Amino acid sequence: MALRTFVKVSGINNLSDARYCAGMEVNQLGFEIEESATNYTDIQKFKEISEWLSGVEYVGEITSNNKAIKDLIEGYQLDAVQIENIDQIGEALNTGLAVSFLAHSIESTQKAWEASGQKLAYVLFDSSEVNDHALQALANEIPIVLAAGFDAETVTELAKSKLKGIAIQGGNEIRPGYKDFDEMADILESLEIDDLTDE
């Protein structure tokens, strides 16, 4: 099985989510790597989770600019870094990792893309305040991964659009080893390609 579009799952902090997502062949798993973050995953826990997985890329998610990026990512085996402060774009690109930018408006999306010299892997767009026409027009120029404004019913249409893909949020386990996957599963299952019936 594969998915119809690029999928990133943000805020991974437990093995249940990580193994489920890897099994569904998502492209990237995001880990919050700042100690102040809600879903902070320290290096030891990251290693414990990632050693069970294969076939996915790991993204270090950074929301503040309180610490040098190279210090935050040290010890993590990451493929990419996600930032949301435009002043950190150059620093992030200098890590040699793929860089994505979390934006909440059309304006910040365009500014980040220009500031990067069009070198961002994509912009993760987290706002449902923009009409679909404006978003699709933007996706003609910039690789956009949409993180809001869709559900299992509408996500298959998004997969046919010019967007690069979608992003969904991981969540906490109810108790160790037990996780309610309902919403995440509905979206990912909607995107599954049936090898027997799909091209």
Angle (nearest 5°) at CA 192 between 188 and 194: 160
Q: What is the pLDDT of residue 197?
A: 47
pTM, rounded to two decimals: 0.91
Bridge-based pairing of strands 192-193 and 98-103 is unpaired
Do the beta carbons of residue 3 and residue 193 sit within 8 Å?
yes
Bridge-based pairing of strands 192-193 and 2-3 is antiparallel
Angle (nearest 5°) at CA 31 between 68 and 41: 85
Specify the CATH superfamily of domain 2-193.
Aldolase class I (3.20.20.70)
Read off the pLDDT of residues 96-155 as tens digits, 9 standing for 90 and up. Answer: 999 999 999 999 999 999 999 999 999 999 988 888 888 999 999 999 999 998 999 999
Return the H-helix or E-strand segment holding 183: helix 182-191
Return the H-helix or E-strand segment holding 73: helix 69-73
Instruction: State the CB neighbour count (10 A cutoff) for residue 39.
Output: 17
Q: What is the pLDDT of residue 183?
A: 80
d(CA 14, CA 58): 14
Domain ranges of the chain: 2-193
- CA 28: distance to chain centroid? 6
Q: What is the pLDDT of residue 194?
A: 73
Provide φ and ψ at 59, rounded to 5°: -115, 125
Distinct helix (H) and strand (E) counts, the chain? 8, 10
d(CA 159, CA 150): 11
Q: What is the pLDDT of residue 175?
A: 44
